[in-house]
A and B are shown apart, each in its own frame.
Chain A
């Protein structure tokens, strides 16, 4: 079985993934996204930077920290019929919060009330429609960057003016959500195929609970209810290997906040007791075996 890991660089997760492959006696080639130089029309016959033709790989496992590089690489590889995890379809949906919202809506999966507007004036109206506090997010981005909880009209006006003046066109799509008054934590659930293999609470005194921003991880029991909504959410965006971020509202009901297609999990195996990397890789190997 010939596998390549497509990366921007090697982080803790990639080392865990490589170790998990090695446990199954597979040694993936490592391909750096910075070395890609692809002739689109030559197809999978051409050589990857590893010196191996793309078509000769049974799987390209995409783990780029650069969302755009990873997504476009998947687009090209999938168009040639090269098998990847995740697929371009899944990556393109997850990398865009608006596209994710649409997918969740189409599959009747609960999510925070969300509005979209394209000018500062209509965005102000959208913010007042969802009521204060509202949350303003860029449609692309990660690690809690550039999120704003907006408490009143004064701060809304300031943030919208800054976004319109300082941001490029990506920041002129105004994605506005109701603020979900969560209990000082959110849930990150790891979905592999059709199963939620583990979940963590991410607790923080700050309203942004990402572990990249200091949120503390602890085990979250995977109940049937949590498993069901997370697996449905994962399927809604195309399925694969995904981290589903879930909020609990004041009634304790789950709403899906966003879905990540190149999930980070270095801090999650210890509290959950689940070897997430090995679960992921065993699933991937099994899937290759199914179609081989």
Chain B
């Protein structure tokens, strides 16, 4: 399966979902810059990724 397209839940722009995408992967909307999480691959479902919290990091 090749790349797929999905609608950005923030701006309704088109988001490219790579062929090797995984559930719970973070992708970006190139139109509005929102970080999105792939909640489901079949059917394709995106949601806004969680906001970065103070303890996030390495």
In whole angstroms, what is the CA distance A286 to B57 when docked? Answer: 27
In whole angstroms, what is the CA distance A18 to B23 when docked? Answer: 13
In whole angstroms, what is the CA distance A10 to B49 when docked? Answer: 11
Which residues of B, 5-58, contact A by the 8 Å Cβ criterion? Answer: 20, 22-26, 37, 49-50, 53-58
Contact in complex: B49, A9 (CB < 8 Å)? yes
In whole angstroms, what is the CA distance A50 to B55 when docked? Answer: 25
Contact in complex: B37, A260 (CB < 8 Å)? no
Chain B interface: which size bin? 10 to 19
The count of chain A contact residues (Cβ–Cβ below 8 Å) is 24
Contact in complex: A264, B58 (CB < 8 Å)? yes
Least CB distance from B36 to A in Å reads 11
Chain B hits for A65, CB < 8 A: 56-57
Contact in complex: A9, B54 (CB < 8 Å)? no
- Residue of B whose beta carbon sits closest to that of A260: B58
In whole angstroms, what is the CA distance A147 to B58 when docked? Answer: 15
Interface centre among B23, B25, B58 (most CB of A within 10 A): B58
Contact in complex: B58, A262 (CB < 8 Å)? yes
In whole angstroms, what is the CA distance A287 to B24 when docked? Answer: 29
Contact in complex: A30, B24 (CB < 8 Å)? yes
Interface centre among B22, B56, B57 (most CB of A within 10 A): B57
Q: Give the A-binding residues of B (Cβ under 8 A).
A: 20, 22-26, 37, 49-50, 53-58
Given contacts A8-B56, A15-B20, A67-B57, 14 further A-B contacts (CB under 8 A): A9-B37, A9-B49, A10-B24, A15-B25, A30-B24, A67-B56, A68-B55, A140-B54, A141-B54, A143-B56, A243-B58, A260-B57, A263-B58, A264-B58
Picked from B26, B37, B56, the residue with its CB within 8 Å of the CB of A66 is: B56
Least CB distance from A15 to B in Å reads 7
Least CB distance from A57 to B in Å reads 19
Least CB distance from A291 to B in Å reads 27
A261 interface contact, C-beta 8 A: yes
Chain B hits for A243, CB < 8 A: 58
